[in-house]
Structure 1
Amino acid sequence: GTRIHAQVEEDLMKKHLTVLKEGEAVSINTFQLKDYLGEFRTNPYPYKITFFRTTKVKAADDFLEYYPEKYFSDFENILSGKLDKNVLVDVIGQIVNIGPMEQIKTKGKDNSKLDIILRDTMNVHLTCTLWSDFAKKVMDYTKENNTTIVICVIKFACIKEYKVKVEQRKKK
């Protein structure tokens, strides 16, 4: 199975609400592929699915029940810049470090910002920035479970650095 982005208008969503559920695989008949434009895409394909009133959706009963490993991006590929920064990625890793919760103004609004460091199975470290309620939930969860190993899965992560500040130290 491969995943692709689908756009469903609100009135059509109501028609398919019982079948279209996050994380569930479905079979779709009678749809259109359109150009997938925008700054970020949820997959590398240049197209997205658009529903019609005649579109039929049913559960894919024979689809795998686990999250396929093939969707997780390799930390080394992310860090090396080999991946398209316009395609959102999924990552999985052990939380090995948590920075302080910061309050930052972005786009005129106050936001909570939390940097965490994930470690993959090859011991490669990746810094991830979490925002708002998600940052607070991760902070609270790791505090409550500080004696255990915490594995973090981030779906549809954006590959970019948030205003990196480089400080130069003067030699004495």
Structure 2
Amino acid sequence: MATKMQIQTSKDLNDQSVVFGDLKPWKNTWLVHVKVLHAWKQYIQSVETMEFVLADETGQKIHATCKRTYIESKGRILTVGAWHYLRNFQITPAGGAYRTTDNTWKMVFNQNTVITRSNHVNDELYLNLTDFQSVLSGTLDENFLIDVLGQVMDCADVENIQCTGGKQRKKLEFTLSDINDLRLPYCIWGNLAEKLHSAINQEAGMVTTLLRFAKLGRFRGELQISNAFDASQMIINPSIAEAEAFKELINDDDKTLTSFQSNEDSQEDNNKQGDQSEKRGQRDKWLLFPTKSIQEMITSTQVSSY
């Protein structure tokens, strides 16, 4: 249970706090004022941690990690969407794959970390939207997760995929378009697949989606966007200025949501399709999973050589 010291209402702390750009690893007594953008539990080689993406008042972001030992006493205090003051934590180099921010450093909570509530209210999401042209250029570093916003143009059915170890995961393939009609293929897994498919079936008219902390990958040499396990967030038809501006520039009459069928579903279907595999609305399935070792799945919570 959190102590009174950890959850007391803050006063005058903002005068002493620093922004993320001032953080350096040579001391651990920093004080920062942060908004919790995202939080999730992570399991790497049976080691449980709680991960966070935090923003300061300037919009800079940093990744933070909380070891299992401190999840109950510290990690659970950090409510997504709320502002807090954090005092006394370690600063270490950020590295590895699936990094949620481009910050050089990451934050690690320890037994001396103190978390104090802030009365500050701000609904800013601190988005860093990546334009489709940058993604398609192939020049982006695939170690970093990105924010992408677009209109759903086509969508397959949710599939149950048999994975290694006998587990099943749900998968959904779809395509997003931007205001310039550039299109990106997507493949999302788990609860996000069901969430989007349900929204598409229920919504009348255009469906836009914001996928935060999404990962870049390749399938048969072509770029694809996917969710990075629980590190990714999806918001359907978000009520944000960027989405409203996007909608105003889209002509619904020219962009109608369609469905498609994979051309690898079954041998019988393949025989029926024959030479129609090039028809509009059909495309190959994604691989069940990218070929990754466990070490390559590690996000910015560890520094490793691959």
2:127 equivalent to 1:78: no
2:60 equivalent to 1:2: yes
> How far apart are residue 127 of structure 1 and its match?
1.5
Q: 1:25 to 1:122 in 2, by over 3 A?
A: farther
Question: Structure 1 residues 38-47 or 84-93, which shifts more?
Answer: 38-47
Query: What is residue 58 of structure 1 aligned with on the other side?
Result: 116
Per-residue CA deviation, residues 26-84 of structure 1 (Å, 9 max, x unaligned), is 33221111122432211123421001222222345446312134x22221111212221
2:230 equivalent to 1:161: no
Per-residue CA deviation, residues 141-171 of structure 1 (Å, 9 max, x unaligned), is 21011x2322211121110134569x9x8xx
TM-score (ref. length: structure 1): 0.80
* Residues in 2 aligned to 1:14 and 1:92: alpha-carbon distance in whole angstroms: 34
2:101 equivalent to 1:43: yes
Q: 1:8 to 1:115 in 2, by over 3 A?
A: same
Query: What is residue 41 of structure 2 aligned with on the other side?
Result: none
> How far apart are residue 114 of structure 1 and its match?
1.0
> How far apart are residue 135 of structure 1 and its match?
0.7
> What is the Cα-based RMSD across aligned positions, in Å?
2.6
Residues 1-172 of structure 1 aligned to structure 2 (within 5 Å): 1-17=59-75, 19-62=77-120, 64-69=122-127, 71-108=128-165, 109-145=167-203, 147-162=204-219
* Residues in 1 aligned to 2:81 and 2:129: alpha-carbon distance in whole angstroms: 15
What secondary structure sits across from 2:150 in the alignment? strand
* Residues in 2 aligned to 1:77 and 1:16: alpha-carbon distance in whole angstroms: 38
> How far apart are residue 25 of structure 1 and its match?
4.0
Task: Provide structure 1 residue ranges, at least 5 long, that are not aligned to the other structure.
Answer: none
The residue type equivalent to 1:22 in the other structure is V
Residues paired across the two proteins, number: 165
Question: Structure 1 residues 123-132 or 22-31, which shifts more?
Answer: 22-31
> How far apart are residue 85 of structure 1 and its match?
0.2
* Residues in 2 aligned to 1:59 and 1:107: alpha-carbon distance in whole angstroms: 43
> How far apart are residue 17 of structure 1 and its match?
4.8
* Residues in 2 aligned to 1:115 and 1:60: alpha-carbon distance in whole angstroms: 41
* Residues in 2 aligned to 1:64 and 1:40: alpha-carbon distance in whole angstroms: 27
* Residues in 2 aligned to 1:94 and 1:60: alpha-carbon distance in whole angstroms: 36
| Higher normalized contact order (CA 8 Å, seq sep 6+, divided by chain length) | 1
The residue type equivalent to 1:32 in the other structure is Q
The residue type equivalent to 1:56 in the other structure is V
> How far apart are residue 115 of structure 1 and its match?
1.1
Contact 2:99–2:145 (CA under 8 A) maintained in structure 1: yes
The residue type equivalent to 2:198 in the other structure is D
Task: Provide structure 2 residue ranges, at least 5 long, that are not aligned to the other structure.
Answer: 1-58, 223-262, 264-274, 276-306
Contact 2:173–2:187 (CA under 8 A) maintained in structure 1: yes
In our comparison, the structure showing a higher alpha carbon Rg is 2
* Residues in 1 aligned to 2:179 and 2:118: alpha-carbon distance in whole angstroms: 31
